[in-house]
Amino acid sequence: MICFPNAKINLGLNVVSKRTDGYHNIETVFHPAAIKDVLEIIEAPALSFQSTGLGIPGESDSNICLKAYALLKKDFKLPPVCIHLHKNIPIGAGLGGGSSDGAFTIKLLNSLFDLNLSVPLMQQYAAELGADCAFFILNKPVFASGTGTVFEDIDVNINAYSMAVVMPPVHVSTSIAYNGITPQEPDHSIKEIVRLPVESWKNNLKNDFELSVYKRFPSLSMIKGQLYENGAVYASMSGSGSAFYALFNKGEQFNFSFSDCRVYFPLESF
């Protein structure tokens, strides 16, 4: 059985406060993005995992797909499977590719072996894998708060735009991004801002991580500037970076030439 785990982007991201457990409270809008991995799971004589496409850091036996399988196997009599992941979503980009792979593994195992898991239960399992994994169970736009695990339905529509995603050859660790952040309550909630016309987002919808990341990697600020020079209606870093996305009016010409970057364009709305 095959499925296609997709990426996500963050429409704005505010780091609101630091928690007593060391984590941070944030607010953001998670939105699916049409860059996709390919995940295949079949029954097999023994458990195995293999990957193709983009290289995945770390040992393969610690991949999040195997962690998802182990999580369900604790509660269900799952047979051994062969998992094949073809990696296309950039890694360390703020696009949620690993989280998506883990969540889609849960959904695929649920379908393959008729586990009859409810959506809330799949979200509960996914949340054990990582902060934003649960988003990919329903895989629709949500306003996320807390540590990124408290979801609220939100009506946001970017279907009138084509999307570009630009991935520079830079990996930004989440810890580095947070080190440069001073948490504060925003003047206006992202939940309110995304209801405004997209044309107004440039001056109102921000990602708190951008200035922190620019201090460490100054060249990244040039990417956002060039996206606007190419006609973007709105451009932003996604999550803690280092990928940037931009929304363009459909039919807009695009001539991004920043060296060494991978460019995904045009991406139709998810």
Q: Which two tokens stand for residue 134?
A: 């649960």
Helices (H), the chain: 64-73, 97-112, 119-129, 135-138, 174-179, 190-193, 209-216, 220-229
Q: Which two tokens stand for residue 175?
A: 């810890």
Beta-bridge partner residues of 41: 83
The region, left, alpha or beta by phi > 0 then psi within -120 to 50, assigned to residue 204 is: alpha
Query: In angstroms, rounded to a whole number, what is the distance separating the alpha carbons of residues 57 and 38?
Result: 18
Helix axes 64-73, 97-112, angle to 10 degrees: 40
Query: In angstroms, rounded to a whole number, what is the distance separating the alpha carbons of residues 169 and 191?
Result: 32
**77 is a catalytic site residue:** no
Residues with Cβ within 8 Å of 73's Cβ and at least 6 positions away in sequence, in order, are none
Q: Which two tokens stand for residue 3?
A: 């499925």
37, 101, 132, 208: the catalytic one is 132
Q: Which two tokens stand for residue 205?
A: 């919808």
**132 is a catalytic site residue:** yes
Please give the DSSP secondary-structure letter assigned to residue 202: G
Active site residue ranges: 8, 132
